[in-house]
Structure 1
């Protein structure tokens, strides 16, 4: 009997639920967009009402509606959610207040117990695990940032209770990736359409699960994750602390780690923002050409020369935490550029910025990357893939399945439930790469020269943005 696995990918902009067979083939899929974040005052960014759970219910129901098999053929579900969120719960596990987004300033500070109704503090994965299973259990691999976690043992650190503001009796029980968190309750089954009693398996944070779903397994490969937050990652077995060019994150296997470079906040959000800003005329032209807007923009950007005739973008549409004065910028207009130069300039800025971050990380790790994997919605752009190959000067590839986090979650569930014997076997069986993109030498040489200029822009604009921030915020 074919066994099927459900991968839940609760991201920053939507929840995607995919049902795979044991070979990684997509059988059915559901997606539900998240509602816009609630920002009642500066620094506060919350998911409104019970939006995360509502979106999981809608996406699961859509995936189950398209599933052609019998419910008993589904072996289990892997749950992957947004990292760095914070959920404040009552004693019964219900929300005491809306879930704090990773963009909320409070998640970077110790917890302050201001509401006596709050009995537990957890991550988005902990909260959603409770909604699915009724258990107060969570994956250890989704606790980074201000949590009392020992990153060597992957267990709670009692000595860190005071510095994080989180007594251990307010926290969930921790389990390792691949362990069963619990089983889908009848109430959750009614909400999601998933079979009651279905095992729910712990995975990790969303970036780690995405990395596994892309097949990131060796230190000579770099993964660029094109999400709302864009970052690059490689893998290793050491818990390295105190690095300057990267930080160490939990991976999807117990006591393995990911090394993650600096990134771009609101990265692919900026691409969507520009697409919407270009407006109805571009939408109408795309419709006339028989293309969706993203594909039309890709076709037009391919006609813009590499380097965009000198137009460059700085992608601080959401400023770095350590430089809150920064803003996004386009520089280099001289009349040659049009709207599609703007679009390609953003794509080039993504690649140039991530090349700078990845190069810094590689130097500190004492390694070099001979291959780049690219994941996320932006990986579907041939122009983006070609730019990445050219900027990095090495072959670039993308996963054959465009929901890498969902595939990674299903893969971990399959290993945890014995569908596959271990992660290596599961990776071989379920993951494959799409067509590779090879660098064009003359473009690589151009981008190397442009990159030396691009990385210096903020040295010159910082003072201007500091001064303008005093006027406009």
Structure 2
């Protein structure tokens, strides 16, 4: 028998990535297209310009298929994963009635108001892309969390009339729901021409992007957590029930039907700050890196690796995007003196991400009454050996990264493998398709230093917040 292949779509906050895997989870080829900068028409509004979600998938799809050297007939299906907490308003024909809303837009946390007569349907990002690919008005149930009339306990639209009134979303404006691992529809001729993806392939439902990433990272068991280094950086653990009234654990739909993903609190614009810092250094820094034959991020890591643990007292408060209910919050850098260099700033940024996530993970595991013996780090940031070692030292436990660190694409492929009968269940698919690349062991002397720093860092906002509240009265 010839080798079979699976397409995984991973559309996040910053780009659309389309990958082709073999049935052992190895990447065969890929295509990627960056999303355009957000439109910010007014304070709190964050919109995707034009038809950016779909356009990026079309470009990335054609790039991916151009790189594929196998027989197209051996591709068995497509797994679809898109960013969570977004919202799209569609016309009768399924095209956008107005710009799609980012998860950062304040309106996604508010009930829908029917002020645009062209709006026929309200969907998550995955519902919109499903319709563009297949023509079907279906979506995964597992990407509907937040202000939607959803019954999370029973994985379906609510039976309560009040839920539709509260959210402003009547049932007739919502797509039908399917479970992760089920077929949403099949790629139409028009979608095939637009994306380059083979006509007639089944498109398989996954979940919200973090849950799909958790699946693709192999994050299972009570003693393992996965830290996802994304635009929204958060940690996750496998869950068994939809916990209620928790303070540091946020139960979400898993990518495995009828299971749950436990989410930690996170960092808004987490890894976005890496791009931000690189960009403010200017084109000159990119030229220096290029002349050395490396990327700007690699050059920054080299400089930061020469800096001592703790960045000689330079620390960062990471509120580069204030939450809706605390608009006064801002990012801060504290502790500068004459020793500090570009490498210090970069290392302190990495350390702040790790220490903030350690605090959030501690809060989660304390509430769950469990302990960890391993953390999995996913996302582009895990390519940095320095960042991986910082995580191991800050957490004081083994940190691992997988062969495939873009785990959402692999999680999508795992769902296809189940739907198309390659593997009988998710456990078997994970065992065959997810592999650890390497691991980082904490260094005792560094662990001790970070413990001492965290004693200060964990309470730092108690002192900075009052100052920021005063400044907010001046600069809103």
Q: Which residue of 1 aligns with 2:301?
A: 298
Q: Which residue of 2 aligns with 1:239?
A: 242
Distance 1:146 1:371 in 2: 34
- Alignment of 1:416 with 2:419, yes or no, is yes
Q: Structure 2 unaligned runs (5+)?
A: none
Q: Which residue of 1 aligns with 2:347?
A: 344
CA contact (8 A) 1:261 1:361 kept: yes
Of 408-417 and 321-330, deviating more is: 321-330
CA contact (8 A) 2:106 2:324 kept: no
Q: Structure 1 unaligned runs (5+)?
A: none
CA contact (8 A) 1:158 1:168 kept: no
CA contact (8 A) 1:139 1:176 kept: yes
Distance 2:268 2:85 in 1: 14
Q: Which residue of 2 aligns with 1:27?
A: 28
Displacement after TM superposition at 1:282 (Å): 2.7
Q: Which residue of 2 aligns with 1:144?
A: 145
Alignment of 1:1-400 (within 5 A): 1-159=2-160, 160-400=163-403
CA contact (8 A) 1:224 1:230 kept: yes
- Alignment of 1:431 with 2:429, yes or no, is no
Count of paired positions? 473
Post-superposition CA distance 1:323-362 (Å, at most 9, x none): 2201000001121111110000000000000000000000
Displacement after TM superposition at 1:287 (Å): 2.6
- Alignment of 1:405 with 2:404, yes or no, is no
Displacement after TM superposition at 1:248 (Å): 0.5
Displacement after TM superposition at 1:217 (Å): 1.2
Distance 1:290 1:74 in 2: 36
Post-superposition CA distance 1:378-433 (Å, at most 9, x none): 11111110000000000001111122100110111111111111111111111101
- Give the 3-state SS of the residue equivalent to 1:96 in structure 2: coil
CA contact (8 A) 1:80 1:405 kept: yes
Displacement after TM superposition at 1:2 (Å): 1.1
Distance 1:285 1:390 in 2: 31
CA contact (8 A) 1:142 1:204 kept: yes
Match of 1:469 among 454, 468, 472: 472
CA contact (8 A) 2:251 2:260 kept: yes
Distance 1:217 1:147 in 2: 28
Distance 2:121 2:360 in 1: 37
Q: Which residue of 2 aligns with 1:441?
A: 444
- Give the 3-state SS of the residue equivalent to 1:436 in structure 2: strand
Displacement after TM superposition at 1:265 (Å): 0.3
Distance 1:179 1:342 in 2: 46
Give the alignment's TM-score, normalised by structure 2.
0.98
- Give the 3-state SS of the residue equivalent to 1:49 in structure 2: coil
Give the alignment's TM-score, normalised by structure 1.
0.99
CA contact (8 A) 2:239 2:251 kept: no
- Give the 3-state SS of the residue equivalent to 1:158 in structure 2: coil
Post-superposition CA distance 1:43-87 (Å, at most 9, x none): 111111101000001111111111111211000000000000001
Displacement after TM superposition at 1:456 (Å): 1.3
Distance 2:106 2:473 in 1: 20
Of 314-323 and 55-64, deviating more is: 314-323
Distance 1:381 1:326 in 2: 29
Displacement after TM superposition at 1:165 (Å): 0.8
Distance 2:436 2:114 in 1: 47
CA contact (8 A) 2:250 2:262 kept: yes
- Give the 3-state SS of the residue equivalent to 1:7 in structure 2: strand
Distance 2:308 2:285 in 1: 20
